[in-house]
Amino acid sequence: MTHFSYLGLGLLFASAVGAGLMNAMAGGGTLLTFPSLLAAGVPAVVANATNAVALVPGSFTSGFTFRRDLGQHGPRLVVYLIVSSVLGGCVGAALVAVAGDALFRRLVPGLIIGSTLLFILQEPLRHWRERQPAPDRPKPALGEGSIWGLAAVHFLVSVYGGFFGAGMGILMLAELGFAGLTNIHQMNALKNFGAAFINLTAALTFIVAGLVFWRLAALMAVGAMLGGWGGARLAQRIGQGPVRWVVVAIGLTTGVATLLR
């Protein structure tokens, strides 16, 4: 665990770049970095902690790149998501020491595939709602009740993200979609800010516990930042439709891959 070849370090760096790109556009980047750390001989709990630390800068980089897409409710939503991200991420990271990775790994495939299916259903449900007769009163904006409900659901997703995190980006996109948001770039901006604070909280918890392999975390953090910046720019350039297909493809692929593992 103390010596790595240049090839091994290069593969870990490349996995972090890919993870940053995937997380910026949809999520699922942990499915690249975590197995790469395991393959390099890093123990599972240390790999989990190192992965959380490594992905923090990439999440902030992509969130900052998407900042202009936050929209009308963006600043208020960010505050709610930050609070629930910090609380949930702290609980999830603490649960690692109690339950370990094995139990949650068995749940990961179903969670990723299930959330991807929810994401696929968002557009048909939105079209169905638009075809319904218009109410007599104007349609309200995203209200305080909806935001509190979103914060509650996000807390549960944050617990999962703090514990392991594979596919939490897709879960967040699903939660934002069912809260009434439809702009994929705004959803990606909120998702990346949420992921950044979940990973940051979990990372601080793991750092206090002394579980982080710092040399690898630093190397992979640089790769994740590059991938996060590039993924956010790419998502903004190719438009909402293709990004939705990327989300679905990543979700189904990572879910099936985890199930087969």
**What CA–CA distance (Å, rounded) separates 122 from 113?**
15
Least confident window among 8-12, 50-54, 72-76, 178-182: 72-76
2 falls within a domain:
no
pLDDT, averaged across the chain = 79
**What CA–CA distance (Å, rounded) separates 87 from 89?**
6
> Residue 38: is it exposed, middle or buried by C-beta count within 10 angstroms (0-12/13-18/19+)?
middle
Q: DSSP string of 6-72?
A: HHHHHHHHHHHHHHHHHHHHTS-THHHHHHHHHHTT--HHHHHHHHHHHHHHHHHHHHHHTGGG--T
Number of domains comprising the chain: 1
Please report the pLDDT score of residue 137 as a whole number: 46
Task: Report pLDDT digits (tens) over 67-122.
Answer: 776 766 567 777 888 999 999 999 999 888 777 667 766 777 787 787 777 777 76
Total residues belonging to the chain? 261
Task: Note down the domain range covering 88.
Answer: 7-130+141-260
Please report the pLDDT score of residue 48 as a whole number: 86
**Are 117 and 47 a contacting pair, CB within 8 Å?**
no
165 falls within a domain:
yes
12 falls within a domain:
yes
Q: DSSP string of 118-129?
A: HHHHHHHHHHHH
Residue 26 has pLDDT above 70, yes or no: no
Task: Report pLDDT digits (tens) over 152-180.
Answer: 999 999 998 898 877 787 788 888 887 77
Q: What is the pTM of this model?
A: 0.75
Q: 1: pLDDT confidence band, cut at 50, 70 and 90?
A: very low
Q: Which of 172, 176, 198 is nearest to 85 (CA)?
A: 198
